Amino acid sequence: MPSFFVTATGTDIGKTYVTAGLIRACRRKSRAVTALKPVVSGFDPLSPESSDPYALMEALDLPVTSLDRISPWRFAAPLSPDMAAARENRAIDMKDVEGFCRAAIATQETVFIEGVGGVMVPMNARETVADWMTALRLPLILVTGSYLGTISHTLTALDVVLRRELHVACIIVNETDNSSVPLKDTAETIARFSQGITVATLPRRAKDADFDQVLGALL
């Protein structure tokens, strides 16, 4: 099973929720797996249990002391990484981030690398998440919602990554709470325009079996 880069059409779409669920699905099948969330903003060191890295560590059954192993670039401001780093008089060197990811990939059977925000979020003054994904060239998992407007957002993000000749392993439509659009209809419409890419769905309050099914679609 290869490693994957988990990205999304925007912020608060459900990347961490999906990644944690896939980790647990892999573990149920006794697959060796780990995950990274190399860069995180909006991180409160006094409340790590409320963070995305903590959710991944919980899925991996790792202690909070593993934080540096999962997410070494942590910033307090809930902003894009370039702005959050600037608030602390820091800047993200993407060569270091990419090297950190490659080191993990080289020693693990399967690594889920979770990005930050959407595909075009700035990482520093020059580079975006899309540049990060292009450097690693891992199969992508594109997470999107089922809210009104998601079809345009999804197809726009898909156009960006396909223009860079990146491989999208799966699009996962994570059902948006109180969405006015049916999950099934959203997924079917995205699938018509996704150039044969697998489109999977996750309902609200998804069960283990739902994540097992998505993992099967991913593989």
Instruction: Give tens-digit pLDDT for 47-56.
Output: 999 999 999 9
Instruction: Give tens-digit pLDDT for 67-126.
Output: 999 999 999 999 999 999 999 999 999 999 999 999 999 987 899 999 999 999 999 999
Residue 120: its pLDDT value, please? 98
Instruction: Give tens-digit pLDDT for 123-143.
Output: 999 999 999 999 999 999 999
Residue 212: its pLDDT value, please? 93
Domain that includes residue 201, residue range: 4-218
Among residues 37, 95, 184, 207, the one annotated as catalytic is 37
Q: Does 184 qualify as catalytic in the annotation?
A: no
DSSP characters over the chain: ---EEEEESSTTSSHHHHHHHHHHHHHHTT---EEE--EESS--TT-GGGSHHHHHHHHHT--GGGHHHH--EE-SSSS-HHHHHHHTT----HHHHHHHHHHHHHH-S-EEEE-SSSTT-BSSSS-BHHHHHHHH-PPEEEEEE-STTHHHHHHHHHHHHHHTT--EEEEEEEPPTT-SS-HHHHHHHHHHTTTT--EEEE-TT--HHHHHHHHHHH-
Residue 68: its pLDDT value, please? 95
What's the domain count of the chain?
A: 1
Instruction: Give tens-digit pLDDT for 155-211.
Output: 999 999 999 999 999 999 999 998 899 999 999 999 999 999 999 999 988 999 999
Confirm whether pTM is higher than 0.75.
Answer: yes
CATH number at residue 130: 3.40.50.300
What percent of the chain lies above the pLDDT cut of 70? 100
